[in-house]
Chain A
Amino acid sequence: MNAGADIATTTVTMVDALNLALRDSMTEDENVVVFGEDVGVLGGVFRVTSGLTETFGKDRCFDMPIAEAGIMGVAIGMTALGLRPVVEMQFDAFGYPAMEQMFSHLAKLRNRTEGRWPVPIVVRVPYGGGIGAVEHHSDSSEAYFAQTPGLKVYTPATVGDAYTLLREAIAQDDPVIFFEPKRLYWEKAELPVPEAAEAVPGRAVIRREGEDATLITYGPSLSVCLAAAKAAAAEGYDVGVIDLRSVVPFDEGTAADALARTGRGIVVHESAGYCGVGAEITARLTELCFDILEAPIQRVTGRDIPYPPPHLEHHHLPSVSRILDALADIL
């Protein structure tokens, strides 16, 4: 692991950036505790928590029995005495046993107690496919959480955002489901991890300016969208890309401003399209921008099927060619 001082000048992976965010948060606030399955000595199956037990001790970063609902429930109980737990669900689909705790308590305890019992918990979830993994290691479940009032849903698409968004998630008092695109874990960035958090959750960022159409995306689909925009440019189309960075809150202003210029938009994400995040974004932007839209907002998403086996997943995931096809329909 790179030390904080070096990181400004070295290439880091998203895993390194997340690890540093945890370190910096734990150093800053002794109430921050990290736990989950295999996060201690091993450092997590993706090594995001590598070395934290060594640095901060077994009472700050520790392994739990394999009991996701119990892990989530324990985290909630800890907040009564002021701790700020960051828990890891080992894989997207392994987090499902904890959903009752998240939906019935994590999301609702602040409201239930009229602000007297806040639950500042971050649930880190490695998510998404494209890594040739088995059925239960590839899900994108952000829509379930986005549908649950009381939760925030963040997802970084770049190494820099991985650091700043996680720091921000840990520092705030609302519970955050933090989706880490596992196919980007080993992405490297020359980009130094910013010292001060520049990402403001709720504020989308324009990753590429464009005058002809706007791609609206987040997390693992950002790189696909950027590649599609590049391919479209080769064909003479100027396509912009917006990275939402957080699904809840949804920064509709940035997206609507871009649509006001292009009149054409496509929402892109890996999770299922039916009743998905893209459906909400499309509906809201249509309400806001109906008069200026040149074409119906399109969606390029994962198919409405259970996650496919690795040899078939390219048919499921949004791809450059599917995005170009959708652009061809509206341009």
Chain B
Amino acid sequence: MNDRTETTLDGYWTPPTALTLVALRNGLRAMIIGRRLDRQASNLAKQGYLTVYPSSLGQEACQVAAAQALGPDDWLFPTYRDSVAMFTHRIDPVKVLTMLRGDWHCGFDPKAHRCAPHSTPLATHCAHAVGLAMASVKKGEKRVAMALCGDGATSEGDFHEALNIAAVFKAPVVFFVQHNGYAISTPSRRQFRAKSLADKAIGYGIRGEKVDGNDFVATISVLRDAVEHARNGFGPVLVEARTYRVSPHTNADDPDRYRNRSEAEPWLEHDPIARLTEYLTAQGRLARDTLRDIEDAAEELAADLRRRVMIPPEADPARLFAHVYADPPPHLQEQRIAVLSEEYVA
């Protein structure tokens, strides 16, 4: 499915999308590794090494395609559920999980990695993506910003404001909505009445696309088109990927209180990793050895992640005050000295 909702657009980017075999294999590899790291993170959360972990199990096609659709100067604006996209965006998994480890709020350099910190508030980061895209245009650069969010976030005012402003300024932004059916416990039928979230693009006068978010090939094709559409000055794109949140909201959630387990079955049958594996195998493009190599690499990375996350992070109270201000007011300096001199008794 790939319903294009063309409206009163000034132009339309229809690039020659040619997915290479290498791109598909890279996608499969990143999905397998991503899922393995995601499972490791869930386990680490259950064992108390992470304070919490929102899993993206079942959404790997979206996660990997989002990161792999971007060019070398483009920025990613992820949410708390997009750790796998951030792994794929080549950020060290330990640094991605810094926030969830309770070590610090963000463990990596956003500018060096062209990736904003995980956004915990819903949809507020969509406007940040628009700002970055507008700044890019002002500076004569060709960067694209991709903002990730879920179906729940589309109910937020900031989502609307971001799309509207991006439309008015033709900002090079891709708003990628992973419609996974739930906002914690609230099903998407309680979030919106629209037939499709992609239809909302019509109201903003921008391009909207709907794609099967469990189909890696379709998802990365649509996202690449969207990124190039935005990059070439045709304005923002809203992409809705239909998928399913197989896991609970986080390890602290209990989905049995609000949905039947059987509901997941059709989605499990359309598992994105199984589908791409099956496709490449049927085409004779995936040797059994290659698959085993990927799985081995995933195991190794998961073991490495566990090993490093289990090392207790250094808790230096000086960090509390170091970066609140560039030039801190006197009362913070007093408190800093007080905290550094006190002996902590739990």
Task: Give chain A's interface residues, CB within 8 Å of chain B.
Answer: 33, 59, 64-65, 67, 69-83, 97, 100-101, 104-105, 108-118, 149-150, 152, 172-174, 202, 248-250, 252, 284
Binds A, one of B10-18, B64-72, B123-131, B245-253: B123-131
Contacts of A81 in B (CB 8 A): 132, 135-136, 139, 141, 143
B165 pairs with A152, CB closer than 8 A? no
- B323: nearest chain-A partner, CB-CB: A115
Q: A101 touching B110 by the CB < 8 A rule?
A: no
CB distance from B133 to the nearest CB of A (A): 8
Say whether B157 faces chain A, with CB atoms less than 8 Å apart: yes
Q: Return the contact of A73 from the options B131, B138, B139, B327 (Cβ within 8 A).
A: B131
What CA separation (Å) do A100 and B123 show in the bound complex? 11
Tell whether, in the assembled complex, residue B75 and residue A80 are in contact, meaning their CB atoms are under 8 Å apart. Answer: yes
Against A, the Cβ 8 Å flags (1 = close, 0 = not) of B158-193 are 100110110010000000000000000000000000
Are A65 and B168 interface neighbours, CB within 8 A? Answer: yes
Cα(A54)–Cα(B162), bound, Å: 27
Quick one: which of B117, B161, B327, B332 contacts A113, CB cutoff 8 A?
A: B117
Measured between C-beta atoms, what is the minimum distance from A196 to chain B in Å?
19
Kindly state the separation between the CA atoms of A152 and B329 in the bound complex, as whole angstroms: 9
B326 within 8 A of A: yes
Q: What residues of chain B lie closer than 8 Å to A67, measured between beta carbons?
A: 161, 164-165
Considering the complex, give the chain A residue whose CB is closest to the CB of B162: A70
B127 touches A77 (CB 8 A): yes
B324 near A77 with CB under 8 A, answer no
Min C-beta distance of A246 to chain B, whole Å? 9
Would A202 and B329 count as touching, CB distance under 8 A?
yes
CB nearest to B325 among chain A residues: A174
Are A248 and B75 interface neighbours, CB within 8 A? no
Contact A73 B130 (CB under 8 A): yes
Given contacts A65-B165, A114-B322, A172-B327, contact A76 B127 (CB under 8 A): yes
Q: Are A78 and B134 in contact (CB under 8 A)?
A: yes
Question: B223 interface residue, CB < 8 Å from A?
Answer: no
Return chain A residues, CB-CB under 8 Å to B145. Answer: 77
Do B75 and A70 have beta carbons less than 8 Å apart?
Answer: no
In the complex, which of the residues A70, A78, A252 contacts B330, with contact meaning CB atoms closer than 8 Å? A252
12 contacts between A and B (CB under 8 A): A65-B165, A74-B165, A77-B128, A77-B134, A80-B135, A81-B136, A100-B158, A114-B104, A114-B322, A150-B324, A174-B327, A252-B330
B329 in contact with A74 (CB, 8 Å): no
Among candidates A33, A73, A114, A152, residue contacting B128 with C-beta atoms closer than 8 Å: A73
User: In the complex the two chains form, is B319's CB within 8 Å of A114's CB?
Assistant: yes
A104 to B120, CA, bound (A): 10
Cβ of B300 < 8 Å from any Cβ of A? no
Q: Mark B97-133, 1 if CB is under 8 A from A, else 0.
A: 0000000111001110000110001001111111111
Residue B331 at the chain A interface, CB threshold 8 Å: yes
Q: Do B139 and A70 have beta carbons less than 8 Å apart?
A: no
B121 surroundings in chain A (CB, below 8 A) = 100, 104-105
| Least CB distance, B313 to chain A, in whole angstroms | 13
> Which residues in chain B, 309-338, are within 8 Å of chain A measured between CB atoms?
319, 322-327, 329-332
B110 touches A113 (CB 8 A): yes
Q: Provide the residues of chain B in CB contact with A72, threshold 8 Å.
A: 127
Q: How far is the CA of A173 from the CA of B330 in the complex (A)?
A: 17
Q: Which of B111, B161, B329 contacts A70 (CB 8 A)?
A: B161
A173: which B residues are within 8 A, CB to CB? 326-327
Task: Tell me, rounded to whole Å, the shortest Cβ–Cβ distance linking B47 to chain A.
Answer: 26
- B165 near A111 with CB under 8 A, answer no
The CA of A159 and the CA of B326, in the complex, are separated in Å by 27
Residues of B contacting A77 with CB < 8 Å? Answer: 127-135, 145
